[in-house]
Amino acid sequence: MPTTVENLQVAFAGESQANRKYLAFARKAEKEGYPQIAKLFRAAAEAETIHALAHLGNMGGVGSTLENLRAAVSGETYEFTEMYPPMVAQAQAENHKARHMLGFANAAEKVHAGLFGQALQALEAGADLSKMDVYLCPVCGDVEFGNPPDKCPICGAPASKYQKIG
């Protein structure tokens, strides 16, 4: 019989996936001209976030900012060094359409690890990151400090596609 913590881990994963899935469903409903159904999907997605965050908190999954940054660096590093490379290779071997996004994700995770590393260094020195704008490439997930590059270094999207994160 699983422990409560094991149950919370399973519930956290399920609620997190449901959130992302419902957001994808909302986008599709919007594109198909069903704005009210899209609202329902977005509301349910937010409800799943409430559940997921409560489960994560009850597992002790959120620590101090220092602990959270260390966990983020570790998680992102695992993704780009161990998790994604065999997935990319498999998708390439199968010539699967996912090979592009898996490759983008792999490259973006490396960027994320580096940026979290910068934040960790700043915090360990007793400071926050310098005040700067943060931009997200909505095509591949690249994150940039300052101004977006003319062209995304991962997927080639133009700077105009980047979204400023507030």
pLDDT given for residue 152 in this prediction: 98
Q: Residues 63-74: pLDDT tens digits?
A: 999 999 999 999
CA atoms lying within 13 Å on the CB side of residue 99: 9
Q: What is the pTM of this model?
A: 0.91
CA distance 5 to 45: 23
pLDDT-based confidence at residue 108 (cuts at 50, 70, 90): very high
Q: Are residues 122 and 139 in the same domain?
A: no
CA distance 141 to 105: 7
Name the DSSP letter for residue 131: S
pLDDT-based confidence at residue 87 (cuts at 50, 70, 90): very high
In 3-state terms the chain splits into helix, strand, coil percentages (rounded to 5) of 65, 5, 25
pLDDT given for residue 127 in this prediction: 96
pLDDT-based confidence at residue 15 (cuts at 50, 70, 90): very high
Q: Residue 156: which CATH number?
A: 2.20.28
CA distance 147 to 151: 11
Q: Residues 18-55: pLDDT tens digits?
A: 999 999 999 999 999 999 999 999 999 999 999 999 99
Mean pLDDT (whole number) for 147-153: 97
Q: Are residues 74 and 113 in the same domain?
A: yes
Q: Are residues 42 and 69 in the same domain?
A: no
Measured from the Cβ of residue 88, the count of other Cβ atoms closer than 10 Å reads 20
Q: Tell me the residue range of the domain where 69 lies.
A: 64-130
pLDDT given for residue 42 in this prediction: 98
CA atoms lying within 13 Å on the CB side of residue 32: 10
Are 122 and 129 contacting, i.e. CB atoms less than 8 angstroms apart? yes
Give me the residue label for tokens 């983008």: 104
From 44, 59, 74, the end of a domain falls on 59
Q: Residue 44: which CATH number?
A: 1.20.1260.10
Nearest to 75 by CA among 118, 125, 39, 110: 110
pLDDT-based confidence at residue 126 (cuts at 50, 70, 90): very high
Give me the residue label for tokens 């597992």: 59
Give the chain's domain count: 3
Q: Are residues 107 and 71 in the same domain?
A: yes
